[in-house]
Amino acid sequence: MNSNAENLRNFRSRLEAIGEGANGEDPMSDEERVRRAGNAFLREINGRMAVDLETCIHCGMCAEACHFYEATQDERYTPAHKFDPLRRFYRRELSPMRWLFRPFTRKVDAAELREWQELVYDACTGCGRCDMMCPMGINISELIVVMRKGIASAGLAPPEVQALQNEQLTGGSLFGVDAAKLRELVSQLKSQQIEVPLDQPKADILVLTTAVDVLVFTDALAALARIMNRSGASWTLSSKAFEAANVGLISGNTSAQALASGRIIDQAAAIGAKTVLIPESGHAYQALRWEGADSSGNELPFEVLAISEFVTRELDAGRLKFKAAANGRSVTYHDPCRLGRHGGVFEEPRRLLEAMGLENRDTESNRRENYCCGGGCGEYTISRAAPLRQKVFEIKRREFENTGADAVITACSNCRVNLMIGAENARWQKPIESLVETVAKNLTDA
């Protein structure tokens, strides 16, 4: 099997090819774009957002929480500025004071939607760090998500994001990883004596994976299988619904998001799964754990667990045990935004590291205040944003280095890809590892 580094190289060229091969804007008139964006805004703005849009006092403190602003000092990257068109739309169309605001509030036009594409896709990963800073308690990242939804509806999502979304929307695959590709990997793993149940008719746990794990981090999938087998759980992967990633959440296409979640929800129901297990992917956790029910319109008939939550539970129940791996090695755990700040999973990964005898040295910003990897929410797929990402990576690198830890460890394959690319570009040698792989390596044999 290829090494992570070689896989990553292949994946990078695949990413670049998406950018080059993608079409530009969806063809439609500018009036139509503005109309569609407006409809998306109308559909998405709820009471909570109305309060937030009314409350912003334009203090600008949110800029100081934003890694894109910090890295560039470009005032356009101020989070409150990133949702300005949405605020103006709200003031003209929905505010209780709209009769007064309308004549004084400029209408959103197509040129602005184009301009804001960069601000909300290239220069925002929806990490939510600004949400934690805002003195008014405004959920800024949620408003920027609505901006993405408006821009996506206007056919103006960046070409890479658009291409990936179309791929998932039509065939269900991502980066060309379809059922055949999954079967190929499963049989490869089998030849290494790693059993991966595929398409079992009934199972307690439906385990998902991601195209990134199939293409780049095959060891992470192997590790996941080892953990599941060792726990003795009844589990399966499904060739009908194995992809945890949800490009609809990333692009801002609500129906694409619902379709991708729906595939998983239907398959979990079909096999009678009580649990759906999310691999190392932050946004996949958010899409199903916190937004899956809303996407489908019903409460989910199963629980959704991140792999670190599952392992912690199995450890507590005595079904999994760790070798005493303490060898004086230190790591620094990077909290993926959508698993941590947006997901509430902070302590389980740290407990696992401790249980394995590894010393975790938190970065200065951590947990709810952690800096994003810089490429989340699809940002790392956008080729033109590479120089911007690299500047943001320097913030991460500084924080990681200050811990003096031997390695970086994280629980999201997208964070890992992005950090590895950043490190490679910066010729930074620190290993960037996966929690699930570390767990699998440290399990006792019996």
End-to-end CA distance of the chain: 26
Using the rule CB under 8 A, is 111 a contact of other proteins?
no
Cβ atoms within 10 Å of 345's Cβ, excluding its own? 24
Using the rule CB under 8 A, is 150 a contact of other proteins?
no
Radius of gyration, CA atoms only, the chain: 22
- E strand or H helix at 205: strand 205-207
Is the CB of residue 258 less than 8 Å from the CB of residue 295? yes
Using the rule CB under 8 A, is 63 a contact of other proteins?
yes
Contacts of 429 (CB under 8 A, 6+ apart): 423
Using the rule CB under 8 A, is 56 a contact of other proteins?
yes
Q: What span, in angstroms and rounded, lies between the C-alpha atoms of 439 and 321?
A: 10
Strands (E), 309-369: 330-334, 359-360
Per CB under 8 A, the list member of 30, 31, 64, 184 interacting with other proteins is 64
The count of residues in the chain is 446
**Residue 171: what are its φ and ψ, rounded to 5°?**
-100, -15
**Choice between 65 and 228, CB closer to other proteins:** 65
Which residue(s) pair with 306 in the sheet? 278
Least distance to other proteins, CB of residue 58, Å: 5
**Residue 136: what are its φ and ψ, rounded to 5°?**
-90, -5
Query: Which listed range, 4-12, 130-138, 146-154, 241-249, lies at the site for other proteins (CB under 8 A)?
Result: 130-138
Using the rule CB under 8 A, is 118 a contact of other proteins?
no
Using the rule CB under 8 A, is 298 a contact of other proteins?
yes
Using the rule CB under 8 A, is 58 a contact of other proteins?
yes
| Residues in region 76-95 near other proteins by CB under 8 A | 76, 78, 80-81, 84, 94-95
| C-alpha separations of 12 from 251, 380, 387, 432 in Å | 20, 10, 15, 17
Per CB under 8 A, the list member of 122, 178, 291, 314 interacting with other proteins is 291
| C-alpha separations of 219 from 172, 188, 213, 336, 362 in Å | 23, 12, 8, 20, 25
Using the rule CB under 8 A, is 394 a contact of other proteins?
no
Cβ atoms within 10 Å of 335's Cβ, excluding its own? 29
Per CB under 8 A, the list member of 201, 297, 318, 404 interacting with other proteins is 297
Using the rule CB under 8 A, is 294 a contact of other proteins?
yes
Using the rule CB under 8 A, is 137 a contact of other proteins?
yes
Which residue matches tokens 């600008």? 60
**Choice between 286 and 442, CB closer to other proteins:** 286
**Choice between 412 and 417, CB closer to other proteins:** 412
Query: Which listed range, 118-126, 128-136, 224-232, 418-426, lies at the site for other proteins (CB under 8 A)?
Result: 128-136
Query: Which listed range, 21-29, 54-62, 175-183, 413-421, lies at the site for other proteins (CB under 8 A)?
Result: 54-62
Per CB under 8 A, the list member of 300, 423, 436, 443 interacting with other proteins is 300
Q: Tell me, residue by residue from 237 to 276, as one string, x for binding to other proteins by CB under 8 A and - for no binding.
A: ----------------------------------------
Q: Strand, coil or helix: what is 6?
A: helix
Buried b (16+ CB within 10 A) or exposed e, 73-112: eeeebbbbbbbbbbbbbbbbbebeeeeeeeeebeebebeb
**Choice between 52 and 167, CB closer to other proteins:** 52
Using the rule CB under 8 A, is 69 a contact of other proteins?
yes
| Residues in region 24-53 near other proteins by CB under 8 A | 45-48, 50-52
Using the rule CB under 8 A, is 354 a contact of other proteins?
no
Q: Which residues bind other proteins (CB under 8 A)?
A: 45-48, 50-52, 54-61, 63-65, 69, 73, 75-76, 78, 80-81, 84, 94-97, 100, 104, 131-139, 289-294, 297-300, 303, 340-344, 346, 364-365, 368-369
